[in-house]
Amino acid sequence: MIKESKKRGAVCAECGKEFSFYLSIQPGICCSRLCSNKSPLRAKKIANTHKTYGEKHWSRRPEVKAKLVKTLRSDNWLGKQRPDMRGEKHWFWRGGHTNERQLAMQRTEYKTWRREVFSRDNHTCQMCGKRGGDLEADHIRSWRDHSQLRYEVSNGRTLCVPCHRSTENWGRKGIPLRVRELST
């Protein structure tokens, strides 16, 4: 419980009404937010404490604002690649650690293939019949061995995660043990 001695009284600068405030809080000039927003003292205080407030700041000038809007609008870069953010210039660059499979899965051809497989199968798992949920597009003939069939819709099927993991070519199960040992 806050003791009465920690309270101070004041008179509102806007409406003249008496009000009280606690010492732990910054002393108020006005009795409420409504009065505070109306008060010319508040605007003067903000102008003195914030250097960016007012028309003189560079971001408030119309010509600078128009140039910033033109440069930063997403429409300007829609469908285009940013050369200033590619490769070593990008902040997530880790020295080119992305493997071929990850790069291929980011391509438009792969995304189109995946979308077409899902729509052909009506977003339904082809093994258990589950519709929707966590579905994956599976290559019937393996990605690694049949590169010419990678983007063929006929080489794809929609599977839920448990059914996909049970297939013979999920992960590295389709690779013989000796080849797996040599590649790691």
pLDDT in tens, the chain (184 residues): 455 567 778 888 778 888 887 766 666 677 877 777 776 666 555 555 545 544 555 556 677 767 766 666 556 666 677 777 788 888 888 887 777 888 888 889 999 999 999 999 999 999 999 998 899 999 998 888 888 998 999 999 999 999 999 888 777 665 554 444 545 4
Q: What is the pLDDT of residue 162?
A: 92
Q: What is the pLDDT of residue 145?
A: 84
Burial of 148 (0-12, 13-18, 19+ CB in 10 A): exposed
Nearest CA among 29, 57, 56 for reference residue 43: 29
* End-to-end alpha carbon distance in the chain: 67
Which DSSP letter does residue 3 get? -
- CB count within 10 Å of CB 162 equals 12
Q: What is the pLDDT of residue 180?
A: 45
CA distance 66 to 16: 44
Please report which helix (H) or strand (E) contains residue 24, including its range: none
What's this model's pTM, rounded to 2 decimal places? 0.46
Residues 48-84: b if buried by 16+ CB within 10 A, e if exposed: eeeeeeeeeeeeeeeeeeeeeeeeeeeeeeeeeeeee
Q: What is the pLDDT of residue 152?
A: 93
Are 160 and 130 spatial neighbours (Cβ–Cβ below 8 Å)? yes
In order of start, what are the domains of the chain with their CATH numbers? 1-70 (no CATH), 102-183 (3.40.1800)
